[in-house]
Structure 1
Amino acid sequence: MTLPLSSAPGAGLPQPRLPSPWTLSAFWFGTAFMWLLLLLILMPAEVVRFVGDADKGKYLGLLGGIGAIVALVLPPIIGNYSDRIGKRLPLIRLGLIVNLAGLAVMGYAAAAMGGLAGFWVYVIGFLLVQFGNNYATAPYSALVPELVPTEQRGRYSGVMGMLQAGGQLLGGVGALVIGLLKLPDVLSYGLIAGVLLISALITLRGVPETQIKPNPEARAQRPSIAQLFAYQPFLWVFVTRALFALGQYSVQPFLQFYAGDVLKQANPGTATSILLMAIIAASIVTALIGGRVSDRIGRKPVIYLAGTIMAVMAIALLFAPNFYVAVGIALVFGLGFGAFSSVDWALGSDAMPSSSSYARDMGIWHVAFVGPQLIETPQGALLDWGNHQGGNLGYSLVFGIAAACFVLGVLLVRNVPETVRAVRSKAVT
């Protein structure tokens, strides 16, 4: 299929200055810090405090499901609006304000309320956080394909992956410090707001407003949703990203159960934190390297290696004889995950079919990462069924599905055209 391609950033328009990759991706650091603390530390603890142990799973699932729906639906809508009006930064600012307001509501409910009434106020705050953050990150996601030349996207994507991992690592350290010092949870919400605000200001002050001008003729040339998925590079990037996300979310939610049931750890929560920190710390090492390498040799070779490592380590976890070996396996998995993360955004940016719809199309592409989070419910049922059969069969099934998803993602990424090599070849000739 032929589309009105214009993959060069700002084609036909005055080129804005190119910000540094650290400035451009700073807001991702704060966002990653926020989501790690909220989803893995604060929300589970607050739900127990609001509703008690008996109903904690039901209400935590409800809270997470509400957030997932917002994250699925909102980015393409706001991205489309951003493309239509030709603005990015004002929408990021507005989304940031709503995000911060939501954190304030969550902190208030955690500090001053209890019972179901407090839970529903907490839900309202979480909805504001989800709405504001997705409102901001939808136009924010368009900045890499819009501002960064194709041959530099690997480096920028690598820095983005490194900052996201760094934000998660800092969030994990912050959670440990807060727990050790037994600080009030409300301080955590203030800490999140401070980190998010500082990181956002770095990006907003250092990134120029894009030079998009509302153009009815350009809007008429935009690919429809059907045309977008008929465009083969986008289709295969969407599919492969969804497969890698399915692999990740087949294992990640159940690590704490795995630590207790298979590794026999007395404190599964602490053991899970150590495993996650090992993955994140190792991913930082390869995130920056992988992006730079992909600018030289292409995106796909990095994906091949990263996906293979992740698949092998997912299976290896089942055979870990003790916790220390499992930590070593987690470190190696993190090396693969970091390399994948470093190339992921660059590969997606390369596959955008038209510069007139960057924010909308990146928002739709983001669905490939968010949608697979809904697999947690059926995978949890499969885990329980398998374990009831004996011999930790449930973990074998769930971890095996994760490995299969990684392998299938590696195989199918072969269908994605290698944009970087094409660009470099043209430059040589």
Structure 2
Amino acid sequence: MTLSSLPAPAAPTVSPWTLSAFWFGTAFHWLLLLIILIPANVVGFVGEANKGTYLGALTAVGAIMALVLPPLVGAHSDRTGKRLPYIRLGLAVNLAGLGVMALAASLMTGTNGFLVYVLGFLLVQFGNNYATAPYSALIPQLVPPSLRGRYSGVMGMLQAVGQLLGAVVAFAVGTLNLPVFVSFAVIAVVLLVPALITMRGVPETATPAPELAAGPTLSWQQLFSYQPFLWVFITRVLFALGQYSVQPFLQYYSVDVLNQKDGVTASSLLAGCIIVASILSAFLGGRISDRVGRKPVIYVAGTTMALTAILLLIAPGFGTALALAVVFGLGFGAFTSVDWALGSDAMPSAKSYARDMGIWHVAFVGPQFIGAPQGALLDWGNRQGDNLGYTLVFGIAAAFFMLGVLLVRNVPDTAHVKTAKA
């Protein structure tokens, strides 16, 4: 299946910093939740023996929202021609979910507390994913192909800065032993303020121009028959599987493998090293991809992440692990710098940007399901002795990264061709 080149906006109507502000808040929100707060809260509810299984199950349950909502909400956004109302409503539900989680973690214990906590997490997932699909449509809709690498790089950099801020806050919370509701309140504020910046900066009429909206609306079968989209989707799934194979268990790895007494502080430092390095490579990677294409950047980034995932298993101490985290961060930042640009370049029809970007987003959040089998595998392997569970989980993550590197070769060089013509 082939499609003619889509018309594109001649010039951006919003700055990359304003457009990326919401993603900054979202990155802070998810890092503090997934890497720091949720793992610690789960142990408080269910204890040490089953922490991996319950954490993996919670992550998988939340992923249901990420699978179902973005394509449906995106399609509805395309039909109404609006983006901002969806972001507003999603943000409100997200904030309500954070309140429920804070209530459960602060005042409740045992199974009942965990069930209320799960309900809050589902509201968070619902709200965040409800907002994401219409938001994801803004880059391909408002930014010409020749500048998408730069915009994607800024988005990747602000994502990393948001994550760094999350790691700093987590370190402060662990050091000062602050009440858990304080962390949830900080998450809510840092999510809300950047979201308001984006919503105020993006025109209310940020919809496709008439000539763009006249393009075809593809069925799902046609969409996945379009080779650029198909291979971008598959490779994004693989990179996400690698990330989610390890990310939820970083705190437990710090204690069980690196022998750190304070898992929250140790995992915050590891995350901080990853993020600081990724800020630099994210900013540079996006600009480089506008010149040489997206795929060469991903080749280097994915290989770097795979190798460091393996080396972390044999790190002789916490200092070495921190150094490896820096190397991993360089690869991760380079990948995120071209992620949005590669996805935007693969969109076949301007008439269904939000739906198709919502489906593309599923490729990143849907693999959160890997947390359930990986959590069970982690617990099973560790019961065999010698931290076998971590060897299996980190090894599988490295395999996902390398498979993504190998298969990204199949993505047609549409991005570089469009850039060269621009």
Unaligned runs of 5+ in 1: none
In the aligned structure 1, how far is the partner of 2:42 from the partner of 2:311? 34
Matched ranges for 1:27-426 at <5 A: 27-50=22-45, 59-208=54-203, 209-212=205-208, 218=214, 221-387=216-382, 392-426=387-421
Q: Normalised by the size of structure 1, how large is the TM-score?
A: 0.89
In the aligned structure 1, how far is the partner of 2:239 from the partner of 2:247? 12
**Structure 1 residues 320 and 62 mapped into 2: Cα distance closer, same or farther (>3 Å)?**
closer
1:110 Cα offset (Å) = 3.8
In the aligned structure 2, how far is the partner of 1:181 from the partner of 1:395? 30
1:365 Cα offset (Å) = 1.1
- Say whether the 8 Å CA contact 1:279–1:333 is kept in structure 2: yes
**Structure 1 residues 307 and 63 mapped into 2: Cα distance closer, same or farther (>3 Å)?**
closer
In the aligned structure 2, how far is the partner of 1:165 from the partner of 1:101? 25
1:408 Cα offset (Å) = 1.8
Deviates more, 1:288-297 or 1:96-105: 96-105
1:123 Cα offset (Å) = 3.1
Q: Secondary structure of the equivalent of 1:309?
A: helix
1:57 Cα offset (Å) = 5.2
Q: What percent of counterpart residues are identical?
A: 69
Residues 61-98 of structure 1: CA deviation (Å, up to 9, x unaligned): 44333211111111111011101111101111111122
Residues 247-284 of structure 1: CA deviation (Å, up to 9, x unaligned): 22223233344334443334444332222211111111
- Say whether the 8 Å CA contact 1:6–1:354 is kept in structure 2: no
**Structure 1 residues 402 and 60 mapped into 2: Cα distance closer, same or farther (>3 Å)?**
closer
Structure 2 residue 23 is matched with structure 1 residue 23: no
- Say whether the 8 Å CA contact 1:68–1:370 is kept in structure 2: yes
Unaligned runs of 5+ in 2: none
* One-letter amino acid matched to 1:414: R
- Say whether the 8 Å CA contact 1:291–1:342 is kept in structure 2: yes
In the aligned structure 1, how far is the partner of 2:366 from the partner of 2:344? 19
In the aligned structure 2, how far is the partner of 1:7 from the partner of 1:266? 55
* One-letter amino acid matched to 1:289: L
Structure number, greater radius of gyration: 1
Matched ranges for 1:5-20 at <5 A: 5=4, 7-9=6-8, 18-20=13-15
- Say whether the 8 Å CA contact 2:228–2:414 is kept in structure 1: no
- Say whether the 8 Å CA contact 2:65–2:125 is kept in structure 1: yes
Partner of 1:2: 2
In the aligned structure 1, how far is the partner of 2:383 from the partner of 2:339? 37
Q: Secondary structure of the equivalent of 2:13?
A: coil
